[in-house]
Amino acid sequence: TAKRVLGVTGSPSGLTLDRGHVVVGQYAMGLDPVGVEGKWSNATVGELIEFLNEKYSGKYLLVGRDKLDHVKGVRQKLLGYECFLEANPEFAGKTVLTQIALTTAEHNELQVQVMDVVNRINSKFGNIEHQPVVFFHKDIPYSQYLALLSAADAMVITSLRDGMNLTSHEYVICQREKKSPLVLSEFVGTYGSFNGGALGVNPMDTRAIAQAIKDALVMSDEEKLARWNLLHRQVLTNSASSFVSSFISDIESAHAEAERH
């Protein structure tokens, strides 16, 4: 794009301008895996994991945590989940989606649309003993959040457009024991870096989301392990420290190159 718009010469390493060479690189932003693992190892988190495992014993637990705005695709996720329950009635009484929707200062109309879908799913598939969607329109304490990620049988992220989405990285770290699958929008920056470890979906394709949820829940232990290993390797490789070190290294190299010329 830069070559077409600016009319400059490009190479795999960057762009050549009148003032010199501009280095262009791809730098995957990550998190601090050691820091997250330290918080995950806290005794409180372990107790909460045990509580959730007991609470949802015999059921499949799906989780999501997104801002409630048009970009994060919460409504698309719920529509896909509804399609999954309609197409797979054998899962209707034993699958729960716990969705944390972070409050934003706008999009009141979207909130109404999302709650309409939540209420429709719970009315259609729920009963006095079972609630298919547990919806939190607020954030929860970090210890509860880590426990929820750890107890999940799958995480579903259906952003219409997103950056690295480090929630997916936190999920991978918390899944060191269960190795549960990740359903991830193809329009999230993290998707490409995960090298096929996640189950990719087009968030505008309701049936594709439904099928990905089913694929995640019936996946063999061998495939879960193979996919998690891919995801975990990328989370460790694309950490916050590696982002900083690679970025600074390229800046220093570019500066040295400019000094030589």
Query: Is the separation of the CB atoms in 54 and 90 below 8 Å?
Result: no
Any bridge partners for residue 188, and if so which?
162
Rounded Cα distance, 62 and 181, in Å: 10
Higher pLDDT, 165 or 172: 172
231 close to 194: Cβ distance less than 8 angstroms: yes
Q: What is the DSSP letter of 184?
A: E
| pLDDT digits 0-9 by tens, 142-157 | 999 999 999 999 999 9
Q: DSSP for 87-117? A: H-GGGTTSEEEEEEEE--SS-HHHHHHHHHH
Q: What pLDDT shows up at residue 164?
A: 76
The whole-number pLDDT of residue 255 equals 66
Q: Which residues contact residue 255 at a Cβ distance below 8 angstroms, ignoring those fewer than 6 apart?
A: none
| pLDDT tens digits, 221-258 | 999 999 999 999 988 887 555 656 666 776 767 666 66
Q: Quick one: average pLDDT of 19-39?
A: 75
pTM for the whole structure: 0.85
| pLDDT over threshold 80, residue 29 | no
For 182-228, write each residue's pLDDT tens digit.
999 999 988 888 888 999 999 999 999 999 999 999 999 999 999 99
